[in-house]
Amino acid sequence: MLTYERIAARETASGWRMLVMHGLGDSLEGYRWLPEALNLPWLGYLLINAPDEYHGGYSWYDFQNNPAPGIARSRAEVFELLDAERAGGVPSEQTFVFGFSQGCLMTLETGMRYPHRLAGLVGVSGYVHEPERAVRELSPVAATQRFFVTLGTYDPLLPADRVKGQLHLLQKDGGLDIQWRELAKDHTIAGEEEIAMIRAFLQGCKDKAAGIG
């Protein structure tokens, strides 16, 4: 069972939510700044801790050995949380998913495999686990999901060219709706420039759902 903290939207009647998944060794504490930075009064948040302890923080999977079992386990737990939100009255169509680094990988996994349409998926400085296999195992609604991914041209951990190749494969062979942007950054979130892109994507998804624009 994942642990998380819920932050309500400033617009108290709003039904929009975003799950936030941190990177390796971090925790939900590292993303308390995000709601204020995004400044979207209609959006509430679930800041999530990954399931495995890792050097004072948490990890979504074992990146040093075989990551597949941990990814599958964490993906199932994210699905359980999304299902619980649906059961509690929050439609998946009003639920965004956001992740950084390992959390980005989990965000992409969720968008490719969760069986219900989500509002949109934002991945920052991550990569795709076994993209060829993922294309074979896409959910029936994967092609209707909207993805936005940011990459760092100076990222020493995840070279942008490698990740772009993975995303292109998902577009070409999987038919996925993926937008991506390269930024002059390393393995981080690049301040207001990047936040503004994410904000615009989230607002655009909400507007499209409402038939605006």
Query: What is the C-alpha R_g of the chain?
Result: 16
CATH number for the domain including 54?
3.40.50.1820
Does residue 213 register a pLDDT over 70?
A: no
Tell me the pLDDT of the chain averaged across its residues: 96
**Mean pLDDT value of segment 194-207:** 98
| Among 89, 153, 141, 133, CA closest to 114 | 141
Give per-residue pLDDT as tens, 9-20.
999 889 999 999
Domain that residue 157 falls in: 3-209
Task: Give the largest Cα separation in the chain, rounded.
Answer: 46
Instruction: Please tell me the predicted confidence (pLDDT) of residue 1.
Output: 81
| Number of domains present in the structure of the chain | 1
pLDDT band for 173, please (50, 70, 90 cuts): very high
pLDDT tens digits, one per residue of 81-114:
999 999 999 999 999 999 999 999 999 999 999 9
Q: What is the pLDDT of residues 34-82, one digit of tens each?
A: 999 999 999 999 999 999 999 999 999 999 899 999 999 999 999 999 9
